C-alpha cells in the first residue's frame, strides 16, 4: 500500500541513514517519507533557460549560462586557497571562484573548456560580475536520475543541516530519490473525484510530483493551486466541524445571576468608568454565559485597552453563580502581576485568589490543590502550571487565557477537561489580526473586540533616533527621570548568540548606571537567564518605583502594567518585528502622563528595517500595524502564531490567497450543512481524511 509506504521512517530512504535522519527530524520535523514529500521548496530555479552575461541586471537570481572557460588558476594557500576561472559567452565575462572541491573542479575544467554550462547566482564584486561556487554541468558525467530537472527546487535549510550535506541541493537529491521511488505507485487521493473535476484541479499525485520537480511553469502553477486548495479546504472543514461539535455537544453552565461580588466590586472598588467597548463586551459575554451552551470566545483588544479588568468582572459573575475561575498567563512575571493587581483591586472583598506557577513551593502547592478542591479558592491565577493534571477544581466554571497567541489549541483543550461540564472559555489577545485570518485561525471561536482605549490616554509619541544621536536620548531620559517618571530600556535577544546579547545588555546597564549614578538614581536589570527570584525582586523594585530605569531583554514584552513608566527605549529596534515593537511600546502610556517610545537603531538600515521603524513612528493603531506587518512579512511570521502552530500553513498564504480562503470556507460550510456527519458515500473520503487530521491532535480525541 502506498499509504503505508509513505509512513516509512525517513532513515530508510536512499541517501539518508541514521545521522542525517537525526538532522532531518530535529531541524525540519521530517520523520517519514510523507513528511519529506510535504517539505515543499520555497522557490524554483529555471534551468530550462540559458541566459547571456549581458542579461544580468541585478544580484540575487540564479541563472544559467553557456560559454567558454578562458583560463583558470589556483590562488592562495590554506583556508584562502581557491580556484579562480574566467568565463566568457560572447556578451561578457564572469569571474568564477571555488573554495571547496577544488580538485574535482580542476578535473572537470581540464576536460571541458568550451561550450560548458554554468549555473549559480551572479554577484557584483569590485564592479565585476562574479559567481562563487557555480555549479558546472559536466556533460560527460552520467545522468543521476530520470526526474525532469528543468525547474530546480530550492529548499529551506539550516547551518546544522548543511554540515551534514543537507544544503538545498542535498535536500533536492533526497526528494528526487523519493519521487523516483514513488513513480511506480499512485499516491492516494485526498479529495472526492467530483470535487476535483468540478474545480478543474489536478490529482494529488501529479501535484506532489510537480511541486518539487515541475514539468513546466503551468504544471507548477496547477500544483500550487491544488495543494493550497487541500490545505485551506481541510483547515476550514476542521474548524467548522469543531464549531459544530462544540455547539451540539457541550451544554454550558448557566450563569444567570449577577450578584453581590460583581455589584460590590462595580460600585465600591472599581476606580474608573468602564469604556463603552468594555461594557459592550461584558454584555456579549453575559449573553453567552446565560445561553446554556458552552462559551468559546476570543477577546481582541489592543495593548492597554483594558482586557484584564473585563476578565475580572466576568470572573466575579462566575463567582456569584458559585463557580470558580482561572486565569492563565504565558509567563511567570505576567501571572505574578495579574495576581498582585487583581488581589489589590479586590481589596477587602471575600473572594480568595491564589497564584500557581512553576516555582510555587511544594507545601504551598499542596495547600492550593486543597483549596481548589474544597472550593475555598475562587480565582486561580497562574502559568501553564495550572493545566497540569494534579490541579483539580471543585467546580470550574470559567477559564480565561491571556495572550492567547502564546498558547496552542491543545492547551485550550486541556482546560476543557478540568470540569465534568467544560468551563466557559475566554481567550484574550492583543495581537490584532485581520478578519479572514481570524476566521481561519480562530474559526471555532466567537469574537469580541475592545476597540476603544480608556479615556484620557494620550497617544504615545514615537521617535526614531540613530546611534549617532545617542546623547540626545540620554538628555531626554534625564529630564523624564528628574520629573519622577520611570524608563524601560529593552535589548533584543538573538538566539544564535546568547552570550553576545547578554554582553550587550550588561554594557547597556553599565552605561545607564554611569549616567544615572547612585545614590540619587537607581538602575535595575532583568533578563531571562536570571534566577526567578532575582528577576522577581528586580521587577518588584521597579514596580514600586525604587529603580527609575529598568534595563531588560524582552522578558517584559507581554502584559506588564506600570503606569508611572512613561518612556520605552528600544535598543537595536531594527532587529525587532513590528508586532513585537508594538507590544513593547504598549508597556508605556498606561497612566495619565504623556508617554514616549524611542527607537534606537544603527546608522545604516535595511529597507525592511526602515519600513518597520517608519510604520511605528507613523501610527499607534494596533490594527494598522498588524496589517502592515502582514504585508511586509507574510503571515507565517506573525509573532507567536508560528510557535503555537495556529498558522502553520505549508504552502497557502492567508493574505495572498485570501480569495481561496473564503472560497474553501464557503465550500466546507455548504458540504457540512448538507451532510453534518459526512456520512454520505460521496463524502467518504472527506470523512476519512478529517478523521486522520483529527486523530493527530489529542484535542480531537475527546470530542469525536
Q: Give me the residues that bind ligand ADP (CB under 6 A), please.
A: 272, 274-275, 278, 301, 303-309, 430, 454, 559, 561, 563, 590
Residue 456 CB, nearest approach to ligand ADP (Å): 7
Residues 6 or more apart whose Cβ sits within 8 Å of residue 163: none
* Continuous H helices in 72-192: 102-111, 159-163, 168-182
Q: Which does 137 bind (CB under 5 to 8 A by kind): ligand ADP, Mg ion, none?
A: none
Nearest 5°: phi and psi at 44? -125, 150
* Distances 501 to 183, 238, 495, 573, 671 between C-alpha atoms, Å: 50, 42, 9, 14, 53
Task: Give the Cα separation of 311 and 285 in Å (integer).
Answer: 10
Length of the chain as a residue count: 704
Residue 163 CB, nearest approach to ligand ADP (Å): 43
CB contact at 8 A, 618 and 463: no
End-to-end Cα, the chain, rounded Å: 27
Q: Which does 382 bind (CB under 5 to 8 A by kind): Mg ion, ligand ADP, none?
A: none
CB contact at 8 A, 179 and 65: no
- The interface mask with Mg ion, positions 425-464, x = CB under 5 A, is ----------------------------------------
> How are the residues of the chain apportioned to helix, strand and coil, as percentages rounded to the nearest 5?
45, 15, 35
Alpha-carbon torsion angle 619, 620, 623, 628, nearest 10: 40
Q: Which does 427 bind (CB under 5 to 8 A by kind): ligand ADP, Mg ion, none?
A: none
Residue 428 CB, nearest approach to Mg ion (Å): 7
Which region, judged by CB under 5 A, interacts with Mg ion, from 207-215, 540-548, 558-566, 686-694?
558-566
Residue 302 CB, nearest approach to ligand ADP (Å): 7
Residue 299 CB, nearest approach to ligand ADP (Å): 9
Minimum CB distance to ligand ADP smaller for 29 or for 267? 267
Residue 566 CB, nearest approach to ligand ADP (Å): 13
Minimum CB distance to ligand ADP smaller for 308 or for 404? 308
Residue 303 CB, nearest approach to ligand ADP (Å): 4
Strands 82-88, 93-98: pairing is: antiparallel
Question: Helix, strand or coil for residue 599?
Answer: strand
Residue 543 CB, nearest approach to Mg ion (Å): 15
* Distances 103 to 145, 163, 612 between C-alpha atoms, Å: 25, 20, 47
Q: Which does 272 bind (CB under 5 to 8 A by kind): Mg ion, ligand ADP, none?
A: ligand ADP
Q: Which does 397 bind (CB under 5 to 8 A by kind): ligand ADP, Mg ion, none?
A: none
Residues 6 or more apart whose Cβ sits within 8 Å of residue 428: 298, 299, 300, 301, 307, 311, 400, 401, 402, 403, 404
Minimum CB distance to ligand ADP smaller for 351 or for 523? 351
Q: Which does 432 bind (CB under 5 to 8 A by kind): ligand ADP, Mg ion, none?
A: none
Q: Which does 524 bind (CB under 5 to 8 A by kind): ligand ADP, Mg ion, none?
A: none
Residue 455 CB, nearest approach to ligand ADP (Å): 6
Minimum CB distance to ligand ADP smaller for 226 or for 307? 307
DSSP-derived secondary structure for 82-102 = EEEEEEE-SS-EEEEEESS-H
Minimum CB distance to Mg ion smaller for 490 or for 549? 490
Q: Which does 561 bind (CB under 5 to 8 A by kind): ligand ADP, Mg ion, none?
A: ligand ADP
Minimal CB distance residue for ligand ADP: 306
Minimum CB distance to ligand ADP smaller for 134 or for 306? 306
Residues 6 or more apart whose Cβ sits within 8 Å of residue 502: 527, 529
Q: Which does 486 bind (CB under 5 to 8 A by kind): Mg ion, ligand ADP, none?
A: none
Q: Which does 629 bind (CB under 5 to 8 A by kind): Mg ion, ligand ADP, none?
A: none
Q: Which does 301 bind (CB under 5 to 8 A by kind): ligand ADP, Mg ion, none?
A: ligand ADP
* Distances 226 to 106, 221, 231 between C-alpha atoms, Å: 45, 9, 9
Which region, judged by CB under 5 A, interacts with Mg ion, from 212-220, 269-277, 559-567, 651-659?
559-567
Q: Maximum Cα–Cα distance for the chain, whole Å?
A: 92
Residue 589 CB, nearest approach to ligand ADP (Å): 9
Residues 6 or more apart whose Cβ sits within 8 Å of residue 381: 326, 327, 329, 335, 338, 339, 342, 353, 354, 355, 356
Nearest Cα to Cα of residue 611 among 597, 628, 623, 627:
628
Minimal CB distance residue for Mg ion: 559
Decide: is 304 part of the binding site for Mg ion (CB under 5 A).
Answer: no
Write out the three cell numbers for 495. 538566539
CB contact at 8 A, 447 and 297: yes
Task: Give the Cα separation of 628 and 610 in Å (integer).
Answer: 13
Decide: is 586 part of the binding site for Mg ion (CB under 5 A).
Answer: no
Residue 402 CB, nearest approach to Mg ion (Å): 6
Minimum CB distance to ligand ADP smaller for 278 or for 419? 278
Residue 259 CB, nearest approach to ligand ADP (Å): 22
Question: Helix, strand or coil for residue 487?
Answer: strand
Minimum CB distance to Mg ion smaller for 423 or for 559? 559
Q: Which does 590 bind (CB under 5 to 8 A by kind): Mg ion, ligand ADP, none?
A: ligand ADP
CB contact at 8 A, 228 and 237: no
Minimum CB distance to Mg ion smaller for 64 or for 431? 431
Residue 557 CB, nearest approach to Mg ion (Å): 11
Give strand pairing partners of 427: 298, 401
Q: Which does 309 bind (CB under 5 to 8 A by kind): Mg ion, ligand ADP, none?
A: ligand ADP
Decide: is 559 part of the binding site for Mg ion (CB under 5 A).
Answer: yes
Binding site for Mg ion (CB under 5 A): 559
Amino acid at each position: 500500500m502506498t499509504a503505508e509506504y509513505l509512513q516509512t521512517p525517513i532513515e530508510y530512504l536512499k541517501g539518508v541513514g541514521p545521522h542525517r535522519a537525526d538532522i532531518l527530524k530535529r531541524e525540519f520535523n521530517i520523520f517519514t517519507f510523507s513528511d519529506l514529500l510535504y517539505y515543499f521548496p520555497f522557490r524554483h530555479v529555471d534551468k530550462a533557460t540559458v541566459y547571456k552575461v549581458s542579461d544580468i541586471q541585478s544580484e540575487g537570481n540564479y541563472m544559467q549560462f553557456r560559454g567558454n572557460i578562458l583560463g583558470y588558476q589556483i590562488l592562495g594557500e590554506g583556508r584562502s586557497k581557491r580556484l579562480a576561472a574566467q568565463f566568457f559567452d560572447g556578451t561578457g565575462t564572469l569571474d568564477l571562484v571555488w573554495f571547496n572541491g577544488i580538485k574535482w573542479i580542476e578535473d572537470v575544467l581540464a576536460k571541458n573548456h568550451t561550450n560548458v554550462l554554468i549555473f549559480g547566482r551572479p554577484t557584483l564584486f569590485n564592479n565585476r560580475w562574479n559567481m562563487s561556487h557555480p555549479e558546472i554541468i559536466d556533460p560527460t558525467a552520467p545522468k543521476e536520475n530520470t526526474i525532469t530537472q528543468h525547474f530546480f527546487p530550492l529548499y529551506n535549510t539550516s547551518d546544522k543541516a548543511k554540515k551534514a550535506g543537507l544544503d538545498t541541493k542535498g535536500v533536492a537529491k533526497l526528494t528526487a530519490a523519493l519521487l523516483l521511488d514513488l513513480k511506480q505507485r499512485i499516491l492516494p487521493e485526498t479529495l472526492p473525484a467530483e470535487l476535483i473535476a468540478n474545480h478543474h484541479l489536478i490529482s494529488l499525485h501529479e501535484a506532489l510530483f510537480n511541486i518539487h520537480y515541475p514539468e513546466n511553469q503551468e504544471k507548477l502553477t496547477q500544483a500550487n493551486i491544488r495543494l493550497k486548495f487541500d490545505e485551506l479546504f481541510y483547515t476550514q472543514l476542521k474548524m467548522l466541524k469543531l464549531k459544530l461539535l462544540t455547539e451540539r455537544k457541550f451544554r454550558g453552565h448557566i450563569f444567570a445571576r449577577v450578584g453581590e461580588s460583581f455589584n460590590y466590586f462595580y460600585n465600591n472598588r472599581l476606580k474608573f468608568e468602564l469604556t463603552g467597548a468594555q461594557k459592550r463586551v461584558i454584555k456579549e459575554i453575559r449573553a453567552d454565559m446565560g445561553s446554556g451552551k458552552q462559551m468559546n470566545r476570543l477577546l481582541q483588544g489592543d495593548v492597554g485597552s483594558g482586557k484584564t479588568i473585563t476578565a475580572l468582572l466576568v470572573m466575579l459573575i462566575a463567582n456569584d453563580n458559585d463557580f470558580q475561575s482561572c486565569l492563565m498567563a504565558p509567563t511567570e512575571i505576567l501571572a505574578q502581576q495579574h495576581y498582585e493587581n487583581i488581589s489589590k483591586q479586590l481589596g477587602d472583598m471575600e473572594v480568595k485568589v491564589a497564584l500557581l506557577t512553576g516555582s510555587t513551593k511544594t507545601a504551598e502547592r499542596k495547600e492550593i490543590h486543597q483549596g481548589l478542591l474544597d472550593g475555598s479558592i475562587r480565582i486561580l491565577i497562574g502559568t501553564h502550571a495550572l493545566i497540569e493534571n494534579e490541579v483539580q477544581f471543585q467546580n470550574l466554571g470559567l477559564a480565561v487565557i491571556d495572550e492567547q497567541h502564546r498558547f496552542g489549541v491543545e492547551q485550550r483543550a486541556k482546560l476543557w477537561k478540568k470540569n465534568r461540564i467544560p468551563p466557559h472559555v475566554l481567550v484574550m489577545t492583543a495581537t490584532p489580526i485581520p478578519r479572514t485570518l481570524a476566521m481561519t485561525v480562530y474559526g471555532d471561536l466567537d469574537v469580541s473586540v475592545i476597540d476603544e482605549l480608556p479615556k484620557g490616554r494620550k497617544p504615545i509619541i514615537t521617535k526614531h533616533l540613530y546611534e549617532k544621536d545617542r546623547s540626545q536620548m540620554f538628555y531626554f531620559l534625564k529630564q523624564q527621570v528628574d520629573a519622577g517618571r520611570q524608563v524601560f530600556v529593552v535589548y533584543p535577544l538573538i538566539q544564535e548568540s546568547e552570550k553576545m546579547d547578554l554582553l550587550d545588555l550588561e554594557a547597556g546597564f553599565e552605561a545607564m548606571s554611569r549616567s544615572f549614578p547612585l545614590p540619587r538614581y537607581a538602575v535595575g536589570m532583568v533578563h531571562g537567564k536570571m534566577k526567578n527570584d532575582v528577576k522577581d525582586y528586580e521587577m518588584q523594585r521597579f514596580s514600586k518605583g525604587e529603580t527609575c530605569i529598568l534595563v531588560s531583554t524582552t522578558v517584559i514584552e507581554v502584559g506588564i502594567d506600570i503606569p508611572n513608566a512613561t518612556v520605552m527605549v528600544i535598543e537595536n529596534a531594527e532587529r525587532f518585528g513590528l508586532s513585537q515593537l508594538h507590544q513593547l511600546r504598549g508597556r508605556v502610556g498606561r497612566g495619565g502622563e504623556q508617554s514616549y517610545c524611542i527607537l534606537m537603531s544603527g546608522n545604516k538600515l535595511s529597507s525592511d528595517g526602515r519600513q518597520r521603524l517608519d510604520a511605528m513612528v507613523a501610527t499607534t493603531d494596533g490594527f494598522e500595524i498588524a496589517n502592515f506587518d502582514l504585508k511586509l512579512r507574510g503571515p507565517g511570521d506573525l509573532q507567536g502564531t508560528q510557535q503555537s502552530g495556529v498558522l502553520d500553513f505549508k504552502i497557502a498564504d492567508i493574505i495572498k490567497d485570501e480569495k481561496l480562503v473564503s472560497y474553501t470556507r464557503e465550500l466546507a460550510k455548504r458540504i457540512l450543512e448538507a451532510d453534518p456527519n459526512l456520512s454520505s458515500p460521496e463524502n467518504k473520503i472527506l470523512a476519512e481524511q478529517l478523521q486522520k487530521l483529527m486523530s493527530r491532535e489529542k484535542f480531537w480525541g475527546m470530542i469525536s
